[in-house]
Every structure is written in C-alpha cells, then in structure tokens.
Structure 1
C-alpha cells in the first residue's frame, strides 16, 4: 500500500474529528446555540493547537531515527509529556477561569459561551494527544493508526447525530471518541515496544 494512503486517511480523520462538530451543531441546533458553540470553539480549540511546535520538530526527528534504525520511544514520550504540560495547563486555565479568559480576549461578545469553554477544552485535550500520535506514526511509516482514527471519526459523527440533546452532550461525544482513539493508539504504541 502506498504510504500516502494512510497519511491521507489520517489527515481526513483528524479533520473530521476536530471540525465536523461545528458543521453538525450548525445543522442540528438553533442559530443562537450554534453561535455560542462556535464562540466556545474559537477559544477551546487553542488547547489542541498549543503543541503545534512539538509536532513540527517531532516529525523529522522520528523519521531520521527510524531511517538510522535508532529508537523513537523516547521522542514520543517527551512529546506527550510536553503536550501534557502545554495543553494540560491551557485546559486547566480554561476550565477554572472561563469567564475571565473570555472577557480578557473578547470582552463581553462571547460571554454566553463561557459555560461550555471548560468542557470544550477538556474535549480538545485528547485531540492534542491524537495530533502528536498521528504525526509520530506518519513519521514512522505506520498504517494501522489511520484506520483507527477513521473509525473514531465515524463514531464521533454518528454519536453527535444520535446524541445531541445539548451542546454539552455534543462535547461529551467528542471527548469520548477522542479519548477512545488515543487510548487504542497508545495501547498499540505500548505493544510495539513491550
């Protein structure tokens, strides 16, 4: 199988996991509720993008070590630890101080979104880990991870379509699907080394 296929599938799955909620919420909920959700997404998604610099440096280091038949476990562990530090701190701040952060960056325009920003940040935390694990696997030339992510993305879309009694429920579906993907991929990663 050409290496491009798993990369395409993984990126498609990641886009679905991290963006389909906005489309579905806009379709399912009232314009007012969709606006609140979109406002929360602007702030809540920052948690997912905080480790972006880690991804940029992780990919070439893993690919280089793989090409030289050197170990890569230490690289993924460091990347995950840095993600915990960065995204975990961001999540904690958004969970503990949503009103302050919203007013600091946006004034009163987005104040109605403060009640879901904490949960939004928590739902994005697995996506931050998923981004790290995805790029690690792409750099190693892995294939299975893409199909696990695709399954997770389908599960999330189906979950939101069937379970959408509130915006909080949508975020819980995202948290569950993201957490399951990360757990399964981390289990495969662990089996690979032990």
Structure 2
C-alpha cells in the first residue's frame, strides 16, 4: 500500500491529465455504446445527430480554448488576466449569437435532418453560450498548465452526460432526441465548474494593448478557419449521411464512425498537450521538431494497431461494442478506421505548425476538407462509397502535409 502511495505521488499533473483524458474518452465511448444498444440503429440515428452537433460545437469552442491557452502561455501578470477577460467577452457574444441562431432556426433544422421535433435543437441552442464560456475556462487552465482543474472539467462533463442521459432515457417518456439534448445541456453546466467568472471584469473596458489585441484577433480568425476545416472533415460524413440516407442506415453508419474514430479521440488528448509544450519551447529557444516527431510516432503506432485489429476481427469488435444489429457494417470498419487514422496523423502536423504561427498546413486542411464534402455530396450512392471517398481525401491530405514538412523543415535542416 505504501509503495502505491509513493507511486501516486510521483505522477505529475500532466500525467494525471493524460490518465483523466483516457478515462473521459472511455466514458464518452461507453455513453455512445449504451445509446446504440438502448435505442437500436433507427432511433440511434437521431441521438447520433445530437452527439455529432456536440462535436461540431466542441470544434468551435476549441477556437477560444486554443487562443486562451496560447496567449496565457505567452503572457503573465496583468496581461494574462486581460487576455482571459477579453476572451470571455468574445466567447459570450459569439455564444449568444450562435445559440440564438440555432434556437430560432430549430424548425428548419428539423426539416433538413428529418427529425421528429424541433425541441431538441432549441435545448441545444440554449447550451451553446455555456459551452463557449466553459471552453475559455479550459483554455485558461491549459495555458497555465493547471491540468488537474482541466481534468475536473472534462470529468464532470462526461460523467454528467453519461448518467443523466441514460437515466432520462430509462425513466422519462419523452422523444429520444430531446432527452439526449437535455443530457448534453446539463453536462455543459456541470463541466463549467470550477469557473471563476466575474461579470464586472468581463464588461469593463479592455486593458489589452492594441498590438496584443490585434494578435489575439488574428489568431482567433486563423484558428476558427482551421476549426471549420475540422468540422468539415470530422463531422460532414455523419451529417450528410443523416441527410441522404434512411434512419436505419444512418444509425448503422453512426456506429461505424464512433468505433472508427477511437484513434482521433486519443490523438486529440496528445494535441492538448502538444500546443502549450511547443509554444513554451519556442519561447525558450528549444528545438520543437523532436516534439512533433515524438507525437507523430505515438499516433502512427496506435493507428497501425487499431486498424489491424479492425481488419482482422471486425465482427468481434462490432458485436462486442454495439451488438448484432450493427454487424452489416463489419466489412467497412477497417477502412473507416484507416481514414480516421490518416486524418489524426495529419492533424498533429497542422496543430504543431499552428502553435508556431505557420498557417500553410491550415489552408491545406481546408482545401481537402472542402474536397471531402464535395465528393460526399456527389458520390454517396452507398455507405461503402461514403467511406472510400474519405479514404481518398485523407490520404491526399496527409501526403501534402508530409511534403510541406519535408520541404520546409527537413531541407532547412540539411541546408543549415
């Protein structure tokens, strides 16, 4: 027992955060698996739509989180507080605008996605401002390397969504999509703590220097653009499948996507650690390329293992996770996992260069994100075609990111 306590004390805050993130990813997977088994393919399509919209929201919120994390890591004292207050202002206004738009547009969203009612979208819209403020609070903790507080936020959100949604589906006689949206809303409230939000500081005049404010706005614009490409690449397939296919097929595809994306969710944990680490190393004059290669090797090794397992034992994976009702997706599992893996590795390069204020990889990701959406719009005759279109787009994206790295980093070292 004593040896265990000594081992626990030796775990660093960063390591605790990594452990916590693995638990959160596991909990989010459990949440999706329980919904898939409780609802079946047809009803799961609507629940999966709400989960996908939450992922879309998380990418938008990540714009604020990454901005706060970057500038908190670069500043201290009065500037650090001013940065946080300024971003809270931006987040509040953006959240109110997005939330109002979704709330008012709920009937149109219901028609577009063929859902049973509009209430699920209205509940979701009310939660958007809360999510943005929560993202800014997380960015503050991330940039200051307060990983324990960051872990508490993610844990609270995940466990709240899991238990409240499952309890609501079992106990309450309402439409499934509405109950999933309700669970999401409550989890956002829970994930916002601990947050020290002082309205008097948020609404007073900005104390940032014009130069720093300009740099923040520039980074927000670049990051928002990149997060838009993330939305296109990572969520357009589920959204378009829900639009073009019957509910049962959309539910089957959603189960495939949730299994295949396990690589991306783990890669995201590493990206959260990579950004402040690279920013700090650059500030101190430490070489950053070894950090990039280390994270790429981690994700590549993980991807090879997961794709191989999905190729060898697809029916076992699907039966174990979602049940026999979803087995028709087994032949596509390894292909989807491979497409996601290619994207996850390419994403490491993009975030690495973003943290170094080099934006060409973002444009590359945007181009191939748009290419993927266009290909899906024109080529979606079967679910197999949907997966293979993504394989083509993500292969091209990773190749171009590698060419950029070789051209501007490897050759630079060789010539130097």
TM-score when normalising by structure 1: 0.92
Aligned counterparts of 1:42 and 1:110: Cα–Cα separation in 2: 12
Residue 366 (structure 2) aligns with: 150
Give per-residue Cα distances to partners, 1:72-106, cap 9 Å, x unaligned: 11111111110011122111111211111112222
Question: Which structure ranks higher in relative contact order (CA pairs < 8 Å, sequence separation ≥ 6)?
Answer: 1
Gaps of 5+ in 2: 1-214, 412-416
Question: How many angstroms does 1:113 deviate by?
Answer: 2.1
Query: Which region of structure 1 is more displaced relative to structure 2, 108-117 or 42-51?
Result: 108-117
Conserved 8 A contact 1:50-1:87: no
Are 1:183 and 2:399 an aligned pair?
A: yes
Runs of 4 or more above 4 Å deviation: none
The answer to whether the aligner puts 1:162 opposite 2:395 as a matched pair is: no
Alignment partner of 1:60 is 2:269:
no
Counterpart in 2 of 1:101? 317
What is the CA–CA distance in structure 2 between the aligned matches of 1:64 and 1:155, rounded to whole Å? 35
Unaligned runs of 5+ in 1: none
Q: Hey, what does 2:301 align to over in structure 1?
A: 85
Task: Output the TM-score relative to the length of structure 2.
Answer: 0.45
Q: Is 1:113 the counterpart of 2:329 in the alignment? A: yes
Alignment match, 1:33: 249
How many residues align? The count is: 194
Quote the offset at 1:40 in angstroms: 0.7
SS at match of 1:78: helix
Structure 2: distance between partners of 1:86 and 1:53: 13
Q: Which residue in the other structure is 2:287 paired with? A: 71
For the pair shown, which has the larger CA radius of gyration, 1 or 2? 2
Select the residue among 43, 52, 58 that pairs with 2:259.
43
Alpha-carbon shift at residue 30 of structure 1 (Å): 2.6
Where in structure 2 are the equivalents of 1:11-22 lying within 5 Å? 11-22=227-238
In structure 2, C-alpha distance between the alignment counterparts of 1:29 and 1:105, rounded to whole Å: 23
Deviation at 1:52, TM superposition (A): 2.7
In structure 1, distance between residues paired with 2:403 and 2:309: 29
CA contact (8 A) 1:99 1:111 kept: yes
Deviates more, 1:100-109 or 1:149-158: 100-109
CA RMSD, Structure 1 to Structure 2 (Å): 1.6
- Deviation, structure 1 residue 13: 0.2
CA deviation after TM superposition for structure 1 residue 68, in Å: 2.4
Give 1:8 deviation, angstroms.
1.1
Does the CA contact (< 8 Å) of 2:346 and 2:397 recur in 1?
Answer: yes
Whole-Å separation in 1 of the counterparts to 2:377 and 2:269:
34
User: Following TM superposition, by how much is the alpha carbon of 1:156 offset from its aligned partner in structure 2, in angstroms?
Assistant: 0.4
User: Offset of 1:129 from its aligned partner?
Assistant: 0.8
CA distance in 2: counterparts of 1:64 and 1:180, whole angstroms: 31
